[in-house]
């Protein structure tokens, strides 16, 4: 049967030509029609014949047409015309919607955002109806169409009435379980709260993938973290039993829009944070490559036989490459921080805050590890800036737990805090004891002075980290060792006790050939307060066989061609003596490593104490203590605090007691200037391990470490982490030595 002539005979305006049937529901049939006037396709909705005798059905249909036509909103389908056919069936012509019901889109776990956008537009359309005094009363996903072009249309307004005016005939209207409790039995006039309840049920379907269940035994579905919070709360508020506790439709729509706006920002923030993570990873890779290149360059510089600038070219090329990598790494770190900060701005409650807190925590710990106090202050301030719940302030202020144990027990401990900006000073904090005992102290630098009658006082420098337990056990041990106190009389006034413990080494980028930053366990030792002097070395020369003395006497290879003319000391009446221009208390120089080793053997045999040269790591512990200081006296420099090239005019060596400020935390003097020291350590580009190795005897096959500043050094060469390397037979006017022993540790 041709539809167009049939409907024309039934009184449908000739403007609309019916072309085909689109579908039918419980009360109506929908046809496709051609609008001849405007040449467009529309939809014709007609009441089914079996309902034509039902006045209520006819009234509902006509009310739908009138109400729908009265609502001007892009989310509500527009009604073009309506009327009644000659057989008594009402009809309406509407815009044609090509798409699918909202129901078909629900249940897709990856489609939460799309469904929420649709639901927000549904709520906005219903809010417009509510503003016009219209209540839909049958909201459900089946009554929402999603067009192929993304349009969202609320359909089927047949149950709609004016709020508070029209009573519902024949009981309840709507679809379970989208019907609010107050509307289930037709109690009271229709109100907008029922539509809000239905929106809440639809939101529940979007979030949880199912309608809400009345079965309390049913396990609740857990939501992804991104959907928890405001959306979950909105869902349950919309389904409150009391209509007065539900939000308005406009508030419901706005809440979803706010979440969607936040979702977009969260997605942008996630992208920025991912970029930050990748840039930081790239920076760390470049930093490792840079470190390896610097070590390779250092090795090429020291081990190569370079006499001309051209000979240094390979090492310089490596250094230039390392510098370029360091610049690139710094740029990447800056870009990573900028990306993370951008992510935090977009999503203040997202993971960017944790990323930034973790970054600055790690940076703070690195700065503390290398003693960079300016960087420490920066990262502490930044942590406080990003701290929204007080956890960082609590972490920064967490005290250290200090356990004080000694051998023997019963010592009193005076606690001093290291203060002062230039030359550090000590401020008394408290006194505790007798040992064993414990106390809590804020993080910082301290000196702990242990005293007990019949024993030498021990001053132990300590850096206490926040929340740290101090001291730490030695490698492979479960419990910290008690501090050993030396009986009175076992130390001379010219000797200093350097107690055992962990030593931060290296990590000074401005020190020549500094080791990489690490921590090493160094056993305790006793070191002479000053380097070996000319007077002490004369005693050695005059006590050994003349031929040995001639071999070990200081001499300057640049002075003359004959060996005899090179000697800087004199032989008078068969005994070695000093020239008038050499002070007996100045450090002996022009000594080879072999000479220093011979002196130690002689002194050990004479005194019955196993005196020897310090290793490079023992020397660094004696010089820097435990706080990675740049110079033995602290982190600032002035020429008057040591003996270096700018300390006096003309530069030259001075007696060992002249520089009272060139004193390390352990009380060892002259480590920053006057004369450098030979060390019993073969030079290597870096150190790997957790225990300080023992001394290594001199051999012409190796280069050996030289440590410390000298009378002709500039400030950078006086830094306590600086290292030099030379052949064991070399002699220089600025290199001497000092001695130590480990028998009393």
Q: Which residues are catalytic?
A: 138
Give the separation between CA 459 and CA 602, rounded to whole angstroms.
Answer: 30
CATH match of 3-95 with 3.30.200.20: yes
Alpha carbons 256 and 228: distance in angstroms, whole number: 13
What does the angle CA 413 – CA 416 – CA 419 come to, to the nearest 5 degrees? 170
- What digits encode the pLDDT tens for the residues 348-388? 888 999 999 999 999 998 887 776 778 989 999 999 999 88
Separation of alpha carbons 426 and 415, rounded Å: 9
Identify the CATH number of the domain defined by range 398-490. 2.60.40.1120
What would the mean pLDDT of 170-192 be, rounded to a whole number? 72
Length reported for the chain: 745
Residue with the larger pLDDT of the pair 431 and 310: 431
Q: Encode pLDDT of 272-302 as tens digits.
A: 999 999 999 999 999 999 988 877 776 665 5
- Share above pLDDT 70 across residues of the chain, in percent, rounded to a whole number: 93
**pLDDT for 168 beyond 50:** no
For residues 589-605, average pLDDT: 97
Average the pLDDT over 55-84 and give the result: 92
- Range with the lowest mean pLDDT among 251-255, 395-399, 479-483? 395-399
Q: Is the pLDDT of residue 741 over 80?
A: yes
Decide if 343 contacts 269 (C-beta within 8 A). yes
Domain ranges within the chain, ordered by starting residue: 3-95, 102-153+164-216+223-247, 267-395, 398-490, 534-741
How far is it, in rounded angstroms, from Cα 77 to Cα 32?
A: 15
What is the three-class DSSP state of 624?
Answer: helix
Q: What is the mean pLDDT of the segment spanning 127-131?
A: 95
Closest CA to 262 of 412, 69, 116: 116
Best CA proximity match to 539, nearest among 569, 509, 515: 569
Residue 356 backbone dihedrals phi, psi, to 5 degrees: -65, -40
What is the mean pLDDT of the segment spanning 385-400? 89
The per-residue pLDDT for 565 is 54
**Residue 710, pLDDT above cutoff 70:** yes
Q: Which residue has the tokens 């706080």?
A: 627
Inter-CA distances, 735 with 307, 427, 506, 528, 671, Å: 22, 36, 21, 17, 12
pLDDT of residue 110: 66
pLDDT for 82 beyond 80: yes
> In angstroms, what CA-CA distances link 219 with 214, 216, 240?
11, 8, 20
Q: Topology of domain 102-153+164-216+223-247, per CATH?
A: Transferase(Phosphotransferase); domain 1 (1.10.510)
Residue 594 — pLDDT band, cuts 50, 70, 90?
very high
Cross-strand partners of 222 = none
**Segment 7-56, tens digit of pLDDT:** 878 899 999 999 999 998 888 999 999 999 999 999 999 999 999 888 88
Backbone φ and ψ of 221, nearest 5°: -80, 130
Q: Band of the pLDDT at 171, cuts 50, 70, 90? A: very low
Confidence at residue 217, expressed as pLDDT on a 0 to 100 scale: 45
Span 121-128, average pLDDT:
96
**Do strands 40-47 and 28-35 pair parallel, antiparallel, or not at all (unpaired)?**
antiparallel
Residue 573 pLDDT more than 80?
A: no
102 secondary structure, DSSP code:
G
Q: Provide the pLDDT for residue 169.
A: 46
Specify the pLDDT at position 1. Answer: 55
Query: Which whole-number Å values give the CA distances from 729 to 126, 555, 732, in the listed order?
Result: 96, 12, 10
- The stretch 153-168 carries a mean pLDDT of 79
Topology, domain 534-741 = 3.90.1580
Which pLDDT score is estimated for 221? Answer: 67
CA angle 128, 129, 133 (to 5 degrees): 120
Complete edge-to-edge strand list for the sheet that includes strand 99-101? 99-101, 144-147, 152-154
Residue 167 binned pLDDT confidence (cut-offs 50, 70, 90):
low
Residue-wise burial string across 98-121, b where 16 or more C-beta atoms lie within 10 A, e elsewhere: ebeebeebbeeeeebbebbbbbbb
Q: What residues form DSSP beta bridges with 439?
A: 402
Number of H helices, E strands in the chain: 15, 30
Whether pLDDT at 83 is above 90: yes
Query: Do the two domains 3-95 and 102-153+164-216+223-247 of this chain adopt the same fold?
Result: no
Cα separation of 89 and 44, whole Å? 12
Q: Share the mean pLDDT of the chain.
A: 90
Task: Supply the pTM of this predicted model.
Answer: 0.65
Q: Taking a C-beta distance cutoff of 8 angstroms, is the pair 595, 536 a contact?
A: no
């Amino acid at each position: 049967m041709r539809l167009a002539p049939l409907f024309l005979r039934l009184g449908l305006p000739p403007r609309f030509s019916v072309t085909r049937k689109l579908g039918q529901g419980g009360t109506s049939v929908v046809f496709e029609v051609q609008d001849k006037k405007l040449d467009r396709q529309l939809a014709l909705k007609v009441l089914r014949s079996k309902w034509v005798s039902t006045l209520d059905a006819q009234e509902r249909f006509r009310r739908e047409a009138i109400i729908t036509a009265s609502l001007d909103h892009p989310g509500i389908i527009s009604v073009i015309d309506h009327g009644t056919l000659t057989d008594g069936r009402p009809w309406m012509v509407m815009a044609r919607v090509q798409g699918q019901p909202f129901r078909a889109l629900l249940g897709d776990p990856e489609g939460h955002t799309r469904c929420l956008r649709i639901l927000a537009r549904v709520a906005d359309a219903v809010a417009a109806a509510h503003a016009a005094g219209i209540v839909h009363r049958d909201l459900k996903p089946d009554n929402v169409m999603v067009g192929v072009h993304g349009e969202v249309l609320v359909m089927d307004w047949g149950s709609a009435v004016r709020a508070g005016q029209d009573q519902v005939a024949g009981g309840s209207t709507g679809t379970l379980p989208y019907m609010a409790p107050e509307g289930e039995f037709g109690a009271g006039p229709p109100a907008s709260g029922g539509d809000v309840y239905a929106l809440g049920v639809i939101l529940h379907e979007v979030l949880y993938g199912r309608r809400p269940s009345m079965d309390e035994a049913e396990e609740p579905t857990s939501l992804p973290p991104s959907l928890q919070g405001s959306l979950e709360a909105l869902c349950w508020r919309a389904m409150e039993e009391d209509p007065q506790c539900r939000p308005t439709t406009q508030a419901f729509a706005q809440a979803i829009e706010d979440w969607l706006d936040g979702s977009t920002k969260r997605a942008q923030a996630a992208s920025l944070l991912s970029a930050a993570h990748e840039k930081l990873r790239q920076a760390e890779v470049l930093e490792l490559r840079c470190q390896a290149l610097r070590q390779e360059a250092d090795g090429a510089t020291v081990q190569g036989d370079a006499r001309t600038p051209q000979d240094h070219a390979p090492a310089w090329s490596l250094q230039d490459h390392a510098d370029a990598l360091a610049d690139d790494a710094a740029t990447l770190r800056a870009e990573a921080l900028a990306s993370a900060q951008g992510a935090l701005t977009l999503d203040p409650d997202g993971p960017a805050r944790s990323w930034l807190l973790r970054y600055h925590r790690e940076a703070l710990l690195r700065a503390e590890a290398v003693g960079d106090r300016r960087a420490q202050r920066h990262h502490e301030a930044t942590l406080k800036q990003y701290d929204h719940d007080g956890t960082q302030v609590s972490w920064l202020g967490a005290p250290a737990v200090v356990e004080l144990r000694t051998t023997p027990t019963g010592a009193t401990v005076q606690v001093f805090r290291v203060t002062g900006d230039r030359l550090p000073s000590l401020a008394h904090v408290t006194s505790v004891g007798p040992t064993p005992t414990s106390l809590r102290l804020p993080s910082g630098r301290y000196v702990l002075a242990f005293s007990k009658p019949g024993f030498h006082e021990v001053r132990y420098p300590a850096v206490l980290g926040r929340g740290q337990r101090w001291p730490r056990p030695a490698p492979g041990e479960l419990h910290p060792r008690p501090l050993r106190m030396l009986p009175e009389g076992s130390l001379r006034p010219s000797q200093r006790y350097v107690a055992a413990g962990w030593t931060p080494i290296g990590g000074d980028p401005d020190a020549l050939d500094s080791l990489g930053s690490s921590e090493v366990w160094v056993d305790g030792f006793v070191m002479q307060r000053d380097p070996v002097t000319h007077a002490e070395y004369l005693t050695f020369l005059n006590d050994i066989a003349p031929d040995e003395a001639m071999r070990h006497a200081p001499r300057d290879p640049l002075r003359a061609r004959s060996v005899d003319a090179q000697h800087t000391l004199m032989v008078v009446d068969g005994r070695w003596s000093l020239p008038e221009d050499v002070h007996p208390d100045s450090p002996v120089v022009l000594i080879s490593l072999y000479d220093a080793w011979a002196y130690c053997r002689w002194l050990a045999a004479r005194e019955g104490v196993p005196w020897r040269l310090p290793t490079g790591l023992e020397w660094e512990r004696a010089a820097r203590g435990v706080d990675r200081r740049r110079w033995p006296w602290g982190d600032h420099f002035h020429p008057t605090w040591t003996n270096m090239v700018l300390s006096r005019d003309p530069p030259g060596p001075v007696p060992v007691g002249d520089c009272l400020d060139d004193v390390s935390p352990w009380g060892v003097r002259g480590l920053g200037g006057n004369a450098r020291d030979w060390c019993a350590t073969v030079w290597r580009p870096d150190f790997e391990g957790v225990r300080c190795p023992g001394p290594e005897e001199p051999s012409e096959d190796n280069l050996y470490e030289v440590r410390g500043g000298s009378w002709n050094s500039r400030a950078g060469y006086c830094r306590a982490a600086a290292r030099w390397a030379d052949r064991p037979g070399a002699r220089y006017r600025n290199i001497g030595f000092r001695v130590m022993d480990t028998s009393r540790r």
